[in-house]
Structure 1
């Protein structure tokens, strides 16, 4: 499955979900602001975040951009694990991904979980961010 440099020689299954910002939950309008990637064979959970403030403010001119940025940063912190992850600090990557992708009715929400194959789990989050968010 891996070569001597640690790179994958065969594709592995990974899961991903978009991170969405829904500034006015009652209206249901949303923008994609990031992507979460989980790859069990690689022991990886990763977040890539990009908030387009102009798009957010087009949906809701009164949106609290600083609060949205803080919530998105918290998502990235949970993915990274460690002290910044709070109660999820010691959780394994799969458990952190499942917690982050659990449905919620807040301004920052996960989209549905999808899966795919990749030979580059580390690079998949950046690729999906470019394709689905930017």
Structure 2
């Protein structure tokens, strides 16, 4: 029997107008402490976002999401956040924010194949 590993994930959302509380799912972040796994993936559905807010700054959104990705992948130890353990990075990204980029609350699960689980969740929740 294969081992099951616990993981947590959160959906990354864009909230074009925070006061309206409408959002578009744009990405997923998933981590497993035991597997030392932290992955983030996103795509920006420009048309959907601009339907909610025509003048939303897509270029700034791309920069901000790239910064999230760098937090997950940077191993240079040049910044304080890059020195965090992966669970601390996950908690930092999923901390409650009142900005235009937010995450869902973290959700737990079990998996025997973390990469397949990531892809299935990404397909279901983002695409």
* TM class by smaller structure: over 0.9
Which residue of structure 2 lines up, in the alignment, with residue 41 of structure 1?
34
Find the aligned partners of 1:117 and 1:80 in 2 and give their Cα distance.
Answer: 23
CA contact (8 A) 2:26 2:43 kept: yes
For these two proteins, the number of residue pairs brought into alignment is: 127
Deviation, 1:80, is 1.1
Worse overlay, 24-33 or 120-129: 120-129
1:36, 1:45 within 8 Å by CA — same for their partners in 2? yes
Superposition map of 1:73-92 within 5 A:
73-83=66-76, 86-92=79-85
Q: In 1, distance between residues paired with 2:44 and 2:126?
A: 9
Report the equivalent of 2:47: 54
CA positional deviation for 1:84: 8.7
CA RMSD of aligned residues (A): 1.7
Among 105, 108, 112, the alignment partner of 2:105 is 112
Instruction: Could you tell me which runs of 5 or more consecutive residues in structure 2 were left unpaired when the two chains were aligned.
Output: none
Q: Please, which runs of 5 or more residues in structure 1 have no aligned partner? A: 2-8
Give the alignment's TM-score, normalised by structure 2.
0.92
Contact 2:14 2:24 survives alignment (8 Å): yes
Instruction: Please state if 1:72 is matched with 2:65.
Output: yes
Q: Which stretches of structure 1, 4 residues or longer, exceed 3 Å deviation after superposition?
A: 83-86
Do the aligned partners of 2:6 and 2:108 also contact (CA within 8 Å) in 1? yes
- What is the rounded CA distance, in whole Å, between the counterparts of 1:111 and 1:84 in structure 2? 28
Match status 1:14 vs 2:7: yes
Q: TM-score by structure 1 length?
A: 0.88
